[in-house]
Amino acid sequence: MHVLECVNLFFAGLLAGAELVVRFGVRAPLAALDERPQIRLRQALIRTLRVVVPSLYVPAALTGIAVTVWNASGTGFALQCVALSAVLVWTVATFGGTVPINEGILEWRADAPPADWRAIVHRWERLDTVRSWAAAGSFAFFLAAVARQLT
C-alpha cells in the first residue's frame, strides 16, 4: 500500500463518517425540535459543516482520482472506478442539491420561515441520504481496492 492510498482512505473514511453522523446521529434529534430552534440549529450546522465537509471531500476526491489513475492497469482498478463513481454521485447530490438548499436555509428567518420549509427540509434529507450512502460506498470500495491489492 502506498502513502497516497493511505491518505485517500483517511479522508474518504472521515467523509463517510461525517455524512453518516449527520444522517443517523443528527437528523432525528434535530427534527424533534420545535420550529424556531430547529431552524436556528440547522443554520448553525450549515455554517460549520460548509467548512468541515469540503476540507474532507476535496482531499478524498483528489486522492481518489490520483490513486485510480496511478493504478489504471493494476489490481483493484475496477473497485476504484466504482468508488470514484460514488464520489461523483456525492458531488452531484451536493452541488446540484444540498448546497443550493443550504444557501436558501441560511436566508430564512427562524421566526418566519417560508410556508414550505418542511418540504424543503424533506428534500434536503432525501439528498443527504444519497450523499451519506455515496460517501460510505466510496470509502468501502476504495478500502476493498486496497484489500484486493494486498491479497
63-83 pLDDT, tens digit each: 999 999 998 888 899 999 999
Cα–Cα dist 86/136, whole Å: 9
Angle at 137 between CA 57 and CA 80, to 5 degrees: 80
For range 105-111, the mean pLDDT: 96
Distance CA 57, CA 148 (A): 24
pTM of the model: 0.92
1 pLDDT band, cuts 50/70/90, is: low
b/e per residue 110-145 (b: at least 16 CB within 10 A): eeebeeebeeebeebeebbebbbbbbbbbbbbbbbb
Read off the pLDDT of each residue in 39-60 and give the average, rounded to a whole number: 97
**Cβ distance 53 to 131 under 8 Å?**
no
User: Is the per-residue pLDDT at 121 higher than 90?
Assistant: yes
In percent, how much of the chain has pLDDT > 70?
A: 99
Q: Where are the domains of the chain?
A: 3-150
Q: Around Cβ 2, how many Cβ atoms within 10 Å?
A: 12
Q: What is the mean pLDDT of residues 34-56?
A: 97
